[in-house]
Structure formats: C-alpha cells, structure tokens
Structure 1
C-alpha cells in the first residue's frame, strides 16, 4: 500500500526563545497525514513563529518536532522541501506588482527549476509549457479560483484582488509543488464570517485530498486540531493575580515573537 501523501505532524514540548523572551513554548501535537491543524491565538502571541518553525523556516530552541518523518531541528532543510508556505508578512509574500497570470507563471517556473529532475528541464519547450499549464489549471481548480470571474481575468493585478481571492491564489501557488504540508498565515484576517467559512471549506477540501494543512487564525473551526499560542498557563496552585513580574513576562513573550519574525525576514 502506498504511504499517505500528507505529512504527519508531531511535536513535544516544542518551543522557541529569542533574545527578549519566548515566541512560543510547550507545544505538543500528534496529527495524522491529511489533518487540518489550526494555530489559534491573538496577534503577537507567537503563532506565526510556530508556523515557521513547523515548516523548517525557524530553528526551535526547546523540545522537538517531526514533520513527515523528518525530525526538527536536525532536518529543517528536508522539512522545507515538503512544506509549502503561503504569504507571511516580511518573509514570503505575493508580489503586488504582478498580474495573477504572472504570479502563477513565476510560481510554476520556480517549482520546475528547483524541484524537477534534470531530465524534466531538458524536455522540449512546448512540452514544458503544456506541463506548466496543466499544473496551474489543476492547482486553480483545487483552490477554487476561476480566473474568468476576476475583473480583468488573468491580467488582474494581484494588488486588486479581494482578500479571499488572494487566499485562493496563495493556495493555488503553494499546490503547484504538490506539497505534503500546506501552511498559511493569518487565514481569517480581514474576512467576513461568510468568507471565513469559505476559506475553511477550501482548506478542508485540500486536507480531504490528503495534504496536511496548517493554518494560523484568530478563531479555529470546531473540526480542526487546535494549537493555541499565548501566555503560559499558571501551574496548579500558582498565584494567578496580575503583578508587575507577570506583565513583564507576557510582554517579553510578545517581544520574543517579534524578534524571531524579524530574524526570519532577514534569512
């Protein structure tokens, strides 16, 4: 029997600490291939850092994780090869100056250049173009993005897309490489309730086809496996009164996440 396409995601006491505090810590999960995983928490709580760490883009400092059989932090490069990352501010973003067609062609070109075997690169140009068109059409279909419905069709500028359309385009570009793990940041940002429901329905369909999905959000759906980020819970019997030390620690957690994201942007 063939092994599942999606990547299993496991973590135990997973954490990342920067110069000014923890970005996240104590994370644990055991998700099967094809799972829908939501990283839930308020902005600044380290949720994007957790996304980047689980996709091999940031090096954790405590505990361990395993993605598709590749152990982190030892095999970060191997995890990056099987995990497709959607837009992350300052790290990996859609190019607002391109049209939708240009963004898709650029994505297909990068996939062919960096992931295809040498013999594929030596195929006749017409055959390569036909293959790219087929991959783009399949990815658009999976992402539910019909270019004919856009204001200027495929010549629509990326900057003119509605937020949900940009999400669908990001998913399509990520799926061009047939990833085992699809990771998206700020999924529900600037979406109405109806649009949020559509976005989660899209990710459910991707997961149903076997690809593991990891999405950062402010509010997770009931059917997702949830990783929550934010200030650590107090231990049993610990005084829960708010005091100066606690406020400083929580502020350091936020600063730690900001530091880690800034470092990822420079990488």
Structure 2
C-alpha cells in the first residue's frame, strides 16, 4: 500500500476576527491525510478566509487547528512550508500575458531556487534539470494537463484558456512544490455541471495520490468528501453579515448572497491586514 504523504487537518471552534468584526467562527472538523475537504457555505461566510487560515496565510484569532501535527495559529510558517495554493482569486492569479510554457518555466525556476535543499543545489546541473523535468511531468500528469492538446500547445497564452484548463494549470503549478496540503478556491465557479464533475474528479485524483485537498465550493460533491459548512458559524451568530437566519441557512434570503461578495472581500482584506501586523 502506498503511504500517504498528505496532511491530516483538524479544527475546533476555529475562528478569525478582523478589525470590523468576525470573519468566520465556530469551525470544527477532522480529516485524515489524503482527504478531499470541501468548504461550502453562503457567499460572505468566510470560506476563502478559512482556506487561507488553514494554510498558514492568515492568523486565526480563536480556537485552534492542526495541519500535519502543526498547531495553528502558533506555527503559521511550518504550515505554509507544507501547503500550496492552487487558484485563489486575488491572491495568486495567473499572469494572463504569459504562455503556459512560460508560466510553468517560471514556477520551476522559483521552485529550484527557493525550495531545493543545499545538497540538491550542489548536484550536477544535468541531474538537477532531470529532477525538475520529472517533477514537472508528474505534476502535469496528476493535473491531467496535456500541453499538446492546447490550441497552440505550450505557446497558448493563459488568457486564452477556458476555465477548466486554467484550473488544471493552476493545480499543476501548485503540485510542483510537492505539497502535503493543496488549497483551491472557488472550484465550481462558472463551470457547467459536466465541468464541475471533471473538476471534482481532478481533485479526487490529487487526493488519491496522497495529497490532502482543501477546496472551497458553492456546492460540495455528493460523496467522497469531508464537508465543512461555514454557514454553521453564521447560524450560531458567530459572524455578522447583515443576513437573516433564513438566508444563512439556505432559505429565501439566499437572494442576498450575490450582494454579500463585497462584504466577504472586505473581511478578507481586513484579516490580511491584521495578519500582516501579527
């Protein structure tokens, strides 16, 4: 049996406050290494901020969590080292002007420069190049990204990619670092039903190969995932969004969700500012 190299993730009464009030709160769950974790809830309920907090990019203000045994918020740097961000709008967007090959080459060079241990850097150049090539091929294979199938092959410009292919590219870039935890935001955004199935199939493949996957979505898959619902924190009064209880629980107030996106963005900006001062 292949040994999982993913990270076990758990949280208990986990919460984050920004200068303007609670962003999310009362989050609790437990997931084994190699799990697919789906974070879902209404717009404005702090889903993206929870993703960033569990990957060490934001500092929680209440409760606690563990990622591969590293306690949060105490060991943010340790969690950042073993986690990687897939697509997170506004945080690590792809450069639309680069080609796919340029985007991959840039990430490979950065990976080699900053993440390679000293002994690896001292190896002959050909060996290092071969290792980087093997890592790239493995990442592309897991992400299911066939460069030859693109309109202009590797010379296809990122802005010309459709949403599913862009997702695969972002996942491949993240996997180059061989993370134990992969985080992906807005998995099902602007996808058709068949494209959603393909996206969840991609993330299941990543998880089955041992990497724990944390994915924010509007609707979790029917099976095979640990589901974390941020609306539980809303229903418990842990976060002030200006929404009614019915809206938070999925009733008629859901019509307000689209208008709440700005509120979540403000909450994320506040929390990032707070984390940077910590």
Q: TM-score, normalised by structure 1?
A: 0.88
Secondary structure at the residue paired with 1:105?
A: helix
Mean Cα displacement is larger for which, 193-202 or 102-111? Answer: 102-111
Asked if 1:70 corresponds to 2:70, the answer is yes
* Aligned equivalents of 2:90, 2:236: Cα separation in 1: 33
What whole-Å deviation, never above 9, does each CA across 1:212-257 have from its counterpart, x for those lacking one? 100000000122111112362258xxxxx959xx99xx99997466
Query: SS where residue 232 of structure 1 aligns?
Result: helix
CA RMSD of aligned residues (A): 2.7
**Shift in Å at residue 177 of structure 1?**
1.1
1:129 Cα offset (Å): 2.1
Q: What CA distance in whole angstroms lies between the structure 1 residues aligned with 2:209 and 2:24?
A: 30
- Structure 1 pair 226–261 and aligned structure 2 pair: CA distance change class (3 A): farther
Superposed, which structure 2 residues align to 1:1-267 within 5 Å?
4-223=4-223, 224-230=225-231, 232-234=234-236, 255=263, 258-261=266-269, 264=272
Contact 1:143 1:171 in 2 (8 A): yes
Q: Which structure 1 residue ranges, 5 or more long, are not aligned?
A: 236-240
Q: C-alpha distance in 1, partners of 2:262/2:196? A: 26
**Separation in structure 1 between the aligned mates of residue 29 and residue 62 of structure 2, nearest angstrom:** 15
Deviation at 1:178, TM superposition (A): 1.0
Return the alpha-carbon distance in structure 2 between the equivalents of residues 142 and 252 of structure 1. 35
In structure 1, what is the Cα distance between the partners aligned to 2:84 and 2:236? 35
- The alignment of Structure 1 onto Structure 2 pairs a total of residues equal to 258
Deviation at 1:130, TM superposition (A): 2.2
Give, in whole Å, the separation in 2 of the partners of 1:31 and 1:257. 27
Tell me the distance in 2 between the aligned counterparts of 1:181 and 1:52. 12
What residue ranges of structure 2 are gaps of 5+ in the alignment?
A: 238-242
TM-score normalised according to structure 2 size: 0.85
SS at match of 2:95: coil
The alignment partner of 1:171 has SS state of helix
Conserved 8 A contact 2:39-2:215: yes
1:262 Cα offset (Å):
5.5
2:240 aligns with none
Structure 1 residues 62 and 132: alpha-carbon distance in aligned structure 2, compared to 1, 3 A threshold: same
SS in 1 for 2:24: strand
